[in-house]
Structure 1
Amino acid sequence: MLNPAVKKQLQEGTVIPAHPLALTEDRQLDETSQRALTRYYIDAGVGGVAVGVHTTQFEIRDPQFNLFEKVLTLAIEEIEKAQVPDSFIKIGGISGPIEQAIEEAKFIKAIGYDLGLLSMGGLQSASEEELLNRTEKIADIIPVIGFYLQPAVGGRILSYDFWRKLADIPNIHGIKIAPFNRYQSLDVIRAVCHSKRNEEIAIYTGNDDNIVNDLLTVYRINVDGKKIEKRIVGGLLGHWSVWTKTAVDIFNKITDTRSKGEIPSELLTLGQEITDANAAFFDPNNEFKGSIAGINEVLTRQGLLKGRWCLLDKERLSPNQLEEIDRVYIDYPHLHDDVFVKENLANWLKE
């Protein structure tokens, strides 16, 4: 049973950053910086956090690192300390084969997460029916947000029929669409609109390349001769793990614009500036190889992380990516939140 306050917040839409992982130079967990990140997001005004997801590095589950339980527990501890409202959405990532996914679902529920973000990534040999069966079993344990992860970072293409059937599963409360593809994103929206559970499912953008347009668009889908309207109500984004205070301000501006029914052209221009910044952070020119290191680089510049290190040595910046991050910092000073971070960093880093 999903907390009614959380369900209301999820349905109305909010900013949910995908929580990164803080490491020391020798690839050990930097607990102080890890806690500081959670504090940063809460003080920036987000409506929830997602931990144990792609931006947190899926490898935290590997036996050689064994960080999954520790990292997800740290976030819960900080959320409890902050005395956030009951509506604050706590999302834990769930991935892997069905046995692993079940154990992760049981763990995150036990320590206080509201929902599981269920990744279909890394399961290339599983049929869609097997993935649906896996989803049903996880939804029996904890409320679920489905996750359409783009193939470049371990996801797979899933059919309209898959999402149509997934939308009908009880205890599915949302879907994060992150295929970075307009056609595949539309498949999910159409599928949800054709479900009797349409109004129960909140759609969140994970398309870091199209954030503002996703949030501004009303979709009208023909269902049995009737036009059903559906919005992407919020975002669950790796991009929102940096410059988060500004992201919250922009999201609030977007929601205000939606209520008025008029879209000023400057918001569309701002959207393309955000996409350009995301290209620097996420490294699409190199099939997103530098995406996690890019996010960590920005957080390092702000002092929230001690370095951009990742668990796997192959996770590093691509050639010219550092220069691209330099460029967007100069080109879009109105997008960063360096002043906000500087004013609060000492408090966030307190043990």
Structure 2
Amino acid sequence: MTLKPHEMPAEVAELFKAGAVIPAHPLALDSSRQLDRRRQRALTRYYVDAGAGGLAVGVHTTQFAIRDNGMFVPVLQAAIEDARGWTDRPLVMIAGVAGPMDQALEEARTARELGYHAALVSLAALKGRSNAELLDHCRRVAEEIKIIGFYMQTAVGGLELDFDFWREFSAVENVIAIKVAPFNRYRTYDVMRGVVAAGAEDRVTLYTGNDDHIVADLMTPFKIPRGSETVTLRFRGGLLGHWSVWTRAAVDLLARIKTCQVSGGGIDPELLGLDARVTDCNAAFFDVANNFHGCIAGCHEVLRRQGLLEGIWCLDPAEGLSPGQAAEIDRVYAGHPDLNDDEFVRKNLDRWLS
């Protein structure tokens, strides 16, 4: 069956709407800061075998700078080829789309032609634009491919986006989801209110990107008033940089939360405790003590320790671990040993690197 540009295969759409673990795919570089194709492939295989429901490529964790050195297309192409060459089960493939209008449209077309199902739209390059201008940008990209809104935290370049923006954004027909990642409870609620005000709760699937509050986001029923009714919204899955590491454990965590919801047996106190523990790990990986300077390098460091990456090199030579960050990663490794998936990686690493 031939699909129209905006259509997703039914099994992919169903998987995405139900909620999945979608890691933000890192970039594997060698010591010359060139693409390490073998280890990039190994990462994709790791995520697939860990049970991820899809991959987000060309996003913040992949490093936006891949657009400045000709890596954007090769990296997107590598991920989709490697994933489809490793498994025949459905996977949701999401491409990051960034930049001003012409760049964003070209990236959206490229992603669609490569076989990606949707685009996660970053508005970071449009600082200072009005809501009307931002929405026009999103509508134009949505003419090329299904889109996912991205409320990126301001500490790493995101814009403050108000309720009015999210209400109008949610009304765009080709919007299928929003990644909510302002790392701010008030702004997270603004998104919820916007979706409900637009009457889009059945069409727009919510994915948490709040790496500082993953478990709580996934467990919370958000009660949003609309006129005389109350609409309950839930985050169905996560599209997270944090889930680029310890991914097998993240898959188990999401499954556990879903089981708890289906059973109707109330909130598991152990899951509530996990929220704080996962956040503690995230503080180390994302370098919260230094305003997220080492957030990408921190994830690289975990993958390096597991053997998936050779080093923690980023495209920007100035981007690396902050002073004390390695010790913080040591601390959370020791303090939360049940949250890692080191044994799973150890058993499969040679096969992924082959």
Q: TM-score, normalised by structure 1?
A: 0.98
| Structure 1 segment 81-120 matched on structure 2, within 5 A | 81-86=85-90, 88-120=91-123
- Asked if residue 316 in structure 1 is aligned to residue 320 in structure 2, the reply is yes
Q: Distance in 2 between matches of 1:259 and 1:331?
A: 30
Q: Which position in structure 2 is the counterpart of 1:34?
A: 40
The residue type paired with residue 179 of structure 1 is P
Q: Which position in structure 1 is the counterpart of 2:217?
A: 214
2:124 is paired with a residue whose SS is coil
Instruction: Give CA deviations for 1:199-235 in whole Å, capped at 9, x if unaligned.
Output: 1000000000000000000011111111111101100
Q: Which position in structure 2 is the counterpart of 1:201?
A: 204
Q: 1:18 aligns with which of 11, 24, 48?
A: 24
Larger mean Cα displacement after TM superposition, 255-264 or 140-149:
255-264
The residue type paired with residue 259 of structure 2 is D
Q: Which position in structure 1 is the counterpart of 2:289?
A: 285
Larger mean Cα displacement after TM superposition, 216-225 or 122-131:
122-131
Q: 1:337 aligns with which of 327, 330, 341?
A: 341
Q: Which position in structure 2 is the counterpart of 1:269?
A: 273
Q: 1:8 aligns with which of 7, 14, 22?
A: 14
The residue type paired with residue 308 of structure 1 is I
Q: Which position in structure 2 is the counterpart of 1:68?
A: 72
- Asked if residue 43 in structure 1 is aligned to residue 49 in structure 2, the reply is yes
Larger mean Cα displacement after TM superposition, 265-274 or 119-128:
119-128
2:237 is paired with a residue whose SS is strand
Q: Distance in 2 between matches of 1:120 and 1:95?
A: 7
Report how far residue 263 of structure 1 moved.
1.1
1:209 is paired with a residue whose SS is coil
Report how far residue 8 of structure 1 moved.
1.3
Report how far residue 9 of structure 1 moved.
1.3
Instruction: Give CA deviations for 1:262-320 in whole Å, capped at 9, x if unaligned.
Output: 11111111111100000000011211000000000000000000000100012111111
Report how far residue 84 of structure 1 moved.
3.0
Q: 2:63 aligns with which of 57, 60, 63?
A: 57
Q: Which position in structure 2 is the counterpart of 1:143?
A: 146
Q: Distance in 2 between matches of 1:314 and 1:225?
A: 54
The residue type paired with residue 293 of structure 1 is A
CA contact (8 A) 2:24 2:243 kept: yes
Q: Which position in structure 1 is the counterpart of 2:187?
A: 184
Q: Distance in 2 between matches of 1:56 and 1:6?
A: 23
Q: Distance in 2 between matches of 1:23 and 1:243?
A: 20
Report how far residue 83 of structure 1 moved.
3.0
Larger mean Cα displacement after TM superposition, 115-124 or 304-313:
115-124
The residue type paired with residue 237 of structure 2 is G
The residue type paired with residue 34 of structure 2 is Q
Q: Which position in structure 1 is the counterpart of 2:350?
A: 346
Identity across the alignment (%): 50
Q: Distance in 2 between matches of 1:326 and 1:228?
A: 43
Q: Distance in 2 between matches of 1:84 and 1:231?
A: 29
Report how far residue 323 of structure 1 moved.
0.4
Instruction: Give CA deviations for 1:117-157 in whole Å, capped at 9, x if unaligned.
Output: 01111321322211100100111110111100001001010
CA contact (8 A) 2:48 2:87 kept: no
Q: TM-score, normalised by structure 2?
A: 0.97
Q: Which position in structure 2 is the counterpart of 1:237?
A: 240
Report how far residue 10 of structure 1 moved.
1.5
Instruction: Give CA deviations for 1:322-344 in whole Å, capped at 9, x if unaligned.
Output: 10001001111101000000000
Q: Which position in structure 2 is the counterpart of 1:223?
A: 226
The residue type paired with residue 4 of structure 1 is A
Q: Which position in structure 2 is the counterpart of 1:305?
A: 309
Task: Count matched residues.
Answer: 347
The residue type paired with residue 245 of structure 1 is R
1:255 is paired with a residue whose SS is helix
Q: Which position in structure 1 is the counterpart of 2:129?
A: 126
Give me the CA root mean square deviation.
0.8
CA contact (8 A) 2:24 2:240 kept: yes
2:234 is paired with a residue whose SS is strand
The residue type paired with residue 141 of structure 1 is E
Q: 1:161 aligns with which of 156, 160, 164?
A: 164
Q: Distance in 2 between matches of 1:7 and 1:119?
A: 22
Report how far residue 5 of structure 1 moved.
1.7
